[in-house]
Chains A and B, each alone.
Chain A
Amino acid sequence: MPRKLKDSLLAVALLLPSAIIFVSFFFYPLYRLFYLGLHQQNRFGTAEKYVGWSQYSDVLGGDDFLDGLWVSTRYVFLTVPLGIVLGILLAVAANRHLRGIKFFQTVFASTVASSVAVASVIFFVLINPQVGYFRDVTFFSLSDPDTALRGVALSSVWQNLGLTFIIVLAGLQAVPEEIYEAATLDGYGPFRRFFRVTLPLISPTLLFLVVVLVIFAFQAFAQVEILTNGGPAGSTETLVFKIFNSQQPQSLGVGAVMAIGLFAVTLVVSLAQFLILERRVHYGS
């Protein structure tokens, strides 16, 4: 057998397991998703009725989806800016040669290992409306529809901070020492040095982080499930929470359309962030 043919056959054999998985558990489900979206199910999920694209316009323009989108969007603004600012503060503070600094770095980074579920239980003990230590703090009270989302956001900020910290610290450590020394010799104080030198140099890292954290926030589920179960009065029902709760047989079609909506929103938001933010990012020369 010629070498070329043999190689091609080998490539096919090596790619086959991946191909099988992608086709049967990725592309086929995506096709099913569109199919489900075009149909309405009965109470047992057995009989299906074709309803066409009207289900798409009904669901995506309906109150349920738009409410979920609104909650998820607010959640992004509650978690991402605060998370990034805290992450930068922590990383700047820990990026120095001090005795025991490795210990602090590990402590800060360690929330990466904690799950959303564990973080939520930790905050559940702290802010639960009936039994939490801080149940009387009205600013993030879980029993008030106006503030419950803040309480949920708080646990996410804490849990994501480990990741933010690791990535910002890596960005800071890649900045050459000489640049700081040069800035200091030029008479830059610590604050001016930070805003005029450090921040522009780590901006690619920050862009990366913003995109990742926004996606995380749009996909928030476990923290809502544990801390509020969507309540009070549906005020913390994020998009994914709504999708998860449309798994009853009769609402599969509606859930499918919402899932497609979530995909579209994620895609648009990520692309928009790159188009808007990338122009302001300094990649060096």
Chain B
Amino acid sequence: MTTTPPVPVMVEQPVKGPRKLTKAELRASEAKTKLSSPWATGIALVMAFLWTIPTLGLLITSIRPQASIQTSGWWTWFTNPEFTLENYDEVLFGSSTGFSTYFVNSIVIAIPAVVIPITIALLAAYAFAWIDFRGRDLLFVAVFALQIVPLQVTLIPLLTIYVDLGLAGSFWTVWLSHSIFALPLAIFLFHNFMKDIPRSLVEAARVDGAGHVRIFFTVLMPLLVPAIAAFTVFQFLWVWNDLLVALTFAGGTPNVAPLTVRLADLSGTRGQDWHLLSAGAFVALIVPLMVFLFGQRFFVRGLLAGGVKG
């Protein structure tokens, strides 16, 4: 978006091990607790409960035997707990479902679709941030403006171009498509982070005789790690969870199709097979969930610093 309003940046410090609160902080936290009404706490608890019901129901369904799923609701599990991994076994390795293959596809799609745009964007961002050349500002605004074109708009012509280039049905279609639409945001985000690095640091390295390559790797790179981590988490979740791009370019090609495509397919053709559907949904969910939990801190900060892909 060209006109993203300033969004206050989340004030979340990295955890530096336990430490004692100062008196002032204690007082502040006491004041805050007093200020908040018990109503809000009650609402929070009720909402947290309602919030987890859909996911909980699915998780419990996925570990119940098929026969029980078909005869009784998942809530009866609490009075009659049963546990089986058969659903997961069938969904992952069963000949008609084969989620393990699609799982590998998802990984093969996601890693280059994250690495390619980050690498290319870092190069471009360095040029925009630290090299003087004619037309720099104009070009930068132009790249930034590309963000307003929604991905959905170019799906049809991209499809015909991939066919012309002979790329149809290969991983390249998905890698390229995700890279194209990640680039403007990535360049913008990395440029902003690079610009924030004090000029004196770069100048000092230059005086010491460091060239562009050494400046990039020894001065800038270490300071860019949070930005790169943020974008990695963001782009990974985006790519892993995408259905539209995958269905458009790899929908008819089982060798290339990711988990989301298989899952959507399964819900259409085997809507009655809850035991497969619920286990499959969790197989698709587990990797992005881990990535989110580990990268949460970077993700939130990056999201707020760069606006959201829209």
A75 at the interface (CB under 8 A from B): no
Contacts of B277 in A (CB 8 A): 121, 124-125
Q: Report yes or no: B159 in contact with A98, Cβ–Cβ below 8 A.
A: no
Q: Taking the nearest CB of chain A, how far is it from the CB of B18, in angstroms?
A: 14
Contacts of B37 in A (CB 8 A): 190
Q: Taking the nearest CB of chain B, how far is it from the CB of A111, in angstroms?
A: 8
Q: Report yes or no: B153 in contact with A96, Cβ–Cβ below 8 A.
A: no
Contacts of A33 in B (CB 8 A): 153-154, 156-157
B141 at the interface (CB under 8 A from A): no
Q: Which residue of A is nearest B240, CB measured?
A: A115
A14 at the interface (CB under 8 A from B): yes
The CA-CA distance from A252 to B155 in the complex, in Å, is 11
Q: Taking the nearest CB of chain B, how far is it from the CB of A226, in angstroms?
A: 5
Q: Report yes or no: A125 in contact with B156, Cβ–Cβ below 8 A.
A: no
Q: Report yes or no: B267 in contact with A124, Cβ–Cβ below 8 A.
A: yes
A60 at the interface (CB under 8 A from B): no
Q: Report yes or no: A120 in contact with B267, Cβ–Cβ below 8 A.
A: yes
Binary flags per residue of B182-206, CB closer than 8 Å to A gives 1, else 0: 0100010000000000000000000
Q: Which residue of A is nearest B123, CB measured?
A: A14
Binary flags per residue of A76-90, CB closer than 8 Å to B gives 1, else 0: 000000000000011
A53 at the interface (CB under 8 A from B): no
B52 at the interface (CB under 8 A from A): yes
B214 at the interface (CB under 8 A from A): no
Number of interface residues of B (CB under 8 A): 103
Binary flags per residue of A131-154, CB closer than 8 Å to B gives 1, else 0: 101000000000000000000000
The CA-CA distance from A111 to B124 in the complex, in Å, is 33
Q: Report yes or no: B48 in contact with A107, Cβ–Cβ below 8 A.
A: yes
Residues from 225 to 278 in B contacting A, C-beta threshold 8 Å:
237, 240-244, 247-248, 260, 263-264, 267-268, 271-272, 274, 277-278
B288 at the interface (CB under 8 A from A): yes
A8 at the interface (CB under 8 A from B): yes
The CA-CA distance from A240 to B4 in the complex, in Å, is 24
The residues of B with any CB-CB pair to A shorter than 8 Å are 1, 3-12, 28-29, 31-33, 35-37, 39-41, 43-44, 47-48, 51-52, 54-55, 57-58, 61, 73, 120-121, 123-124, 126-127, 131-134, 136, 139, 143, 146, 148-150, 152-161, 176-177, 179-180, 183, 187, 212, 237, 240-244, 247-248, 260, 263-264, 267-268, 271-272, 274, 277-278, 280-281, 284-285, 288-289, 291-293, 296, 299-300, 303-304, 307-308, 310
The CA-CA distance from A126 to B280 in the complex, in Å, is 16
The CA-CA distance from A228 to B114 in the complex, in Å, is 31
The CA-CA distance from A182 to B218 in the complex, in Å, is 48
Q: Report yes or no: A89 in contact with B47, Cβ–Cβ below 8 A.
A: yes
Q: Report yes or no: A181 in contact with B31, Cβ–Cβ below 8 A.
A: yes
Q: Taking the nearest CB of chain B, how far is it from the CB of A144, in angstroms?
A: 18
Q: Taking the nearest CB of chain A, how far is it from the CB of B176, in angstroms?
A: 6
